[in-house]
Amino acid sequence: MVNKIAVIGAGLMGAGIAYVSAWNGFNVSIVDTKQEFVDKGMERIRTDVMTGIDKGKISMGDAEGLMSRLKPTVNLEDAVKDADLVIEAIFENMDVKKEIFAKIDAAAPSHAILATNTSSLSIDELATATKRPDKFIGMHYFSPVPAMKLLELVIGEKTSDETIAAVETVGKTQGKTTVRAKNSPGFIVNRILNPALLEAIRMYERGEATKEEIDTAMVSIGKAPAGPFSLGDFVGLDIAFNAMSTLYREIGDCFKPPDTLKNLVDAGHIGMKSKKGFYSYGADETEPEPPKGADPQWIVERINIPAIREAMILVDDNIANEEDINMAMKLGASWPMGPFEMLKHFGVDKVRDFIKKLQEEFGDCYSMPKYLG
């Protein structure tokens, strides 16, 4: 049973994880390399608490209780020595993470579960840094942690059933909906979101539709919260490029980042945070291209069907089940429907024909998933 959680890294994600843990009754230590980083993390948590108080969701008494359960420190050994669960949220770098997991493994009690919030690194490789791969798992939270309901549990080859069950309980106690994915590139949400962005950029590069036409169709007909180009600019094209590059490296050429994306990132045009990405923001707003007259319904199908196909491959490869994939895309990417609900909506025969035509025109990156027989 998990009572005490140690969160490693007091950045954006670590502070969020510490907050939802302390708010839901866990005793939490939060550690970073320098006092100023720990202070910054605690400041983030205080801001979240104040927001809760302002909205009437947290009483002053609850806020005091929450803060009293948090123990900030710069001493890693001290933070993990009596932890039942350690959740790591430091920089996204394999060597740095392995180094810290070796230290955590040496200092944490033998019963403690070790979890990582990595967005893209292999759980199995990270687990090799420890002597307890059965107690090693991915807990992939989404940002902002207090608001996002989804928690992807990423299961390594040696992760035990007890470990999965224990972190599932922790996630639920933290107010999250958990889904299970076997360790694989991009897990569920990033794996399925990437084909959607790739297809949008490829359509644009081929001159089939403008960015504005694609974004408008995806919002008005596809009922997406934002079109792929606006969403990319919002999330950050550097982040989108890194996520796609991971899939390119691990799965192959079908995920090669298109030149349009690479060139923007190379030029430092990484979206809203740099005032320029697919679109310009602020003073030098560019004129939209003249429309190409693409059918909005076709745009939606042309983008969503390759993403549905990717979801089917996850099922074919036994990485996740339909129910969890639907839930993950609705909660983690705010899709109005899960991919398998979309499959029903479009109709299985139509999706099969669509994929067949894509394969004839563009090759095996659009091969027919076993799921469709």
Ligand X SMILES: NC(=O)c1ccc[n+]([C@@H]2O[C@H](COP(=O)([O-])OP(=O)(O)OC[C@H]3O[C@@H](n4cnc5c(N)ncnc54)[C@H](O)[C@@H]3O)[C@@H](O)[C@H]2O)c1
Nearer to ligand X by C-beta: 190 or 210? 190
48 touches ligand X (CB under 6 A): no
Strand 150-155 relative to strand 136-141, pairing: antiparallel
Q: Does 105 bind ligand X (CB under 6 A)?
A: no
Closer to ligand X at the Cβ: 216 or 246? 246
Q: Which of 33, 173, 260, 367 binds ligand X (CB under 6 A)?
A: 33
Q: Which of 27, 119, 230, 326 is catalytic?
A: 119
With CB under 6 A as the contact rule, the residue among 5, 6, 7, 10 that binds ligand X is 10
Among 2, 24, 37, 226, which residue interacts with ligand X (rule: CB under 6 A)?
A: 37
Q: Tell me if residue 269 is catalytic.
A: no
Q: Which is nearer to ligand X, 11 or 65 (CB)?
A: 11
Please tell me the count of residues contacting ligand X according to CB under 6 A. Answer: 22
| Beta strands 85-88 and 70-73, pairing class | unpaired
Q: Is residue 140 flagged as an active site residue?
A: yes
Report the distance separating Cα 354 and Cα 368, nearest Å. Answer: 10
Q: Is residue 32 a contact point for ligand X (CB under 6 A)?
A: yes
Tokens of 11: 């950045």
Q: Find the shortest distance in angstroms from Cβ 297 to ligand X.
A: 32
> Is 12 a residue that touches ligand X (CB under 6 A)?
yes
Residue with token string 């932890």: 83
Kindly tell me the burial class for residue 253, based on how many C-beta atoms sit within 10 Å of its own C-beta (0-12, 13-18, 19 or more). exposed
Residue 334 binds ligand X (CB under 6 A)? no
Asked if residue 119 binds ligand X (CB under 6 A), the reply is yes
196 contacts 303 by C-beta, under 8 angstroms:
yes
What whole-number distance in Å separates Cα of residue 302 and Cα of residue 312? Answer: 16
Interface residues for ligand X in 140-199 (CB under 6 A)?
A: 141-143
Q: Of the listed 140, 184, 194, 230, which one is catalytic?
A: 140
Q: Which is nearer to ligand X, 176 or 211 (CB)?
A: 176
β-bridge partners, 116: 88, 138
Show Cβ contacts of residue 236 under 8 Å, excluding neighbours closer than 6 positions.
270, 271, 272, 273
Annotated catalytic, 345? Answer: no
Cβ(273)–Cβ(236) below 8 Å: yes
Question: Which of 6, 31, 49, 299: binder of ligand X (CB under 6 A)?
Answer: 31
Read off the tokens for 280: 């310009």
Q: What tokens does 88 get?
A: 């790591």
Which H/E stretch holds residue 229? Answer: helix 228-235
Catalytic one of 21, 184, 190, 194: 190
Nearer to ligand X, 117 or 194 (CB): 117
Is residue 197 within 8 Å of 237, Cβ to Cβ? Answer: no
212 is catalytic: no
Cα separation, 226 vs 61, whole angstroms? 39
Catalytic residues: 119, 140, 152, 190
Using CB under 6 A as the criterion, which residues of the chain lie in contact with ligand X when the complex forms? 8-14, 31-33, 37, 89-92, 100, 117-119, 141-143
